[in-house]
Amino acid sequence: MIKKISTNNAPAAIGPYSQGLDLGNMVFVSGQIPIDPATGVMADTIEEQAKQSLTNLKNILAEAGLGMENVVKTVVFLADLNDFAAVNAVYETFFADPFPARSCVQVAAIPKGAKVEIECIAVR
C-alpha cells in the first residue's frame, strides 16, 4: 500500500506530485527546492538554499517517522556546479557516516529560479 506524505513543515507541491510517498519499508521524497514553508521566501545564498532544501527533506521524513539517518540515496541538482563545494559543506552537517549514496548534476534550470534542489530515498 502506498501512503501519501504531506506536511505543512515543507513547501506544498507546485505540480501534480506528492511531497513524498511511503511504501512501508521505503520512503521517496520529491525534490525539495529551498522555499521556507512558513514564509514562502527563498534565501539568496547557495548555503542558505542548501540548508533549507535539506530542512524540507528532513521535515517530510519526520512526517513519515524517519530521520536523515534513514536516507540511503540522494540526488542533488545544482544550477551551477561551481556551488558543489559550498553545498557539500552544508550537506555534511545533515548526515553522518556512512553517508547516503548520491548523485550531483548541473541542470539548465530549477523551478522558481532556485540554485539547488535535493531529493532522497529512505528506508526503515
Q: What are the extents of the domains in the chain?
A: 3-123
Query: Is 120 marked active-site?
Result: no
Cell of 75: 540526488
Confidence at 46, pLDDT banded by 50, 70, 90:
very high
pTM for the predicted model, two decimal places = 0.97
Q: Choosing from 70, 104, 109, 117, which is the catalytic residue?
A: 104
How many angstroms from the chain centroid is the CA of residue 35? 11
Residue 101 has pLDDT above 90, yes or no: yes
As given in the structure block, the three cell numbers for residue 8 are 505543512
Q: Which residue has the cell 538554499?
A: 49
What are phi and psi for residue 11, nearest 5 degrees? Answer: -60, 145
In this predicted structure, the answer to whether residue 87 has a pLDDT above a threshold of 90 is: yes
Residue 84 is predicted with a pLDDT of: 98
**What amino acid is encoded at 33 in this protein?**
I
* Those residues with Cβ within 8 angstroms of residue 46's Cβ, 6 or more apart along the chain or in another chain: 83, 86, 87, 115, 116
Given this model, what pLDDT does residue 14 score? 86
Q: What is the per-residue pLDDT across 16-37, written as a single tens digit (0 to 9) for each?
A: 999 999 999 999 999 999 999 9
Select the CATH number that applies to the domain covering 3-123 from these four: 3.30.1370.140, 3.40.50.10440, 1.10.3720.10, 3.30.1330.40.
Answer: 3.30.1330.40
